[in-house]
Structure 1
């Protein structure tokens, strides 16, 4: 984890989403110039979902060869597939259903009504990751991983003080007692996130300011402080999350 880190502050959450959407489309186009398959891990949340909606509206969306793009999620709520809390459902409505992307290129984490139990959902996630591993690895290398950050400094569904932060030998883990509802989740693990070429933290809101400050100023053991990209780590913030006055 030796890549460059940059902090970019936009005036508000809407601008964060719009700018991130354009940045992501350009990153995909750049990656497609050198690799036949591009893997992107999506995040949920208000800004993450708005970013996807902005992608759908962008003039650049048609320039991407979506048959070569693979979409993943950093975490998912272990609820029925049609539940409004599902990151996948929100992403499909905001963007994916409008894309000319093959169904097999979309890799959602299991819903509670698709498998027998949480352990089966975790096993499915690990198998799916392994099936797309390359270069002798155990999971795919994401070209870009988008992550939100909670007020407590959590990323994906890796929360402070939880045992999931110590899981370093498999690609996915379960959480049965999330401090943020719904309580049951499936999450990618730190080594999968840290294998990403680029990690982008997309964060908005004054309630995130303390966590952002703790991570960016070093010495923090928050989950967000334990994730960075191999090549690039971007913090894409609004003024409130950055602790700056809005313009």
Structure 2
């Protein structure tokens, strides 16, 4: 894992957007399209908003989500709705290229997770999975101490007891995250500093799920200075 520390939150968001725009252009040029799994959370949505005025060939970008709140499609809690408001409704991305995880339409969560796994298999290799990280070192909706951190052979799981509301969620598994070619963890704030230290310490997945994230080609932890405050210089 490469660790990159930015001066502050604004620099983290702006420079990560630069990095992402460059990667999308590279992928489109090399393979004709780019498939990314985006994330929610305040920094994740700020990053998406930063992309709204950037030069991106949206016709060739496919977007899905690394986790989603299992609520009604119109709920403001949906990561997808927040992403649409921040970015997707403002750019010329084809509707067929926006691949949401299921919303709660009365379907049991386990069946929705199976549908999410099928969606992910259909998409094939994810070029980049973007992740935030919580103060407890969770990623996506994989929380410390809860079952589901490791679910071999399953790409999307249902989470019934998230410690953050809403309690029902869909989430990429560790295996799905690590099947991505690239994984970027984007983390800001002093309240995340201990979690960053823990994730970099080699702690078990059950203690710090973030420490398990590893792309097949590239893994980057992008931090602001506050989130990096507890890292030793030689550990960056």
Please indicate, yes or no, whether the TM-score normalized by the shorter chain is above 0.5.
yes
Q: Please give the residue correspondences for 1:1-247 in structure 2 after superposition, counting only pairs within 5 Å.
A: 5-58=1-54, 61=55, 64-113=56-105, 115-132=106-123, 140-221=124-205, 222-243=208-229
Residues 178-228 of structure 1 deviation map (CA, whole Å, 9 limit, x = unaligned): 011111000011111001111100000111111101122334431111111
Measured in 2, the distance between the counterparts of 1:81 and 1:23 equals 31
Q: TM-score, length-normalised on structure 2?
A: 0.92
Measured in 2, the distance between the counterparts of 1:229 and 1:157 equals 18
8 A Cα contact 1:178 1:185, kept in partner: yes
Residues 60-113 of structure 1 deviation map (CA, whole Å, 9 limit, x = unaligned): x2xx32222110100000111111111001100000011211111111111113
RMSD of the TM alignment (CA)? 1.5
Q: Secondary structure of 2:31's match?
A: coil
Instruction: Report how many residues are paired.
Output: 229
Instruction: Report runs of 4+ in structure 1 exceeding 3 Å deviation.
Output: none
Which runs of no fewer than 5 residues in structure 2 stay unpaired?
A: 231-236
8 A Cα contact 1:78 1:186, kept in partner: yes
8 A Cα contact 1:214 1:220, kept in partner: no
Q: TM-score, length-normalised on structure 1?
A: 0.88
Which runs of no fewer than 5 residues in structure 1 stay unpaired?
A: 133-139
Q: CA deviation at 1:11?
A: 1.8
| Higher mean displacement: 162-171 or 175-184 | 162-171
Measured in 2, the distance between the counterparts of 1:166 and 1:207 equals 26
Q: Secondary structure of 1:201's match?
A: strand
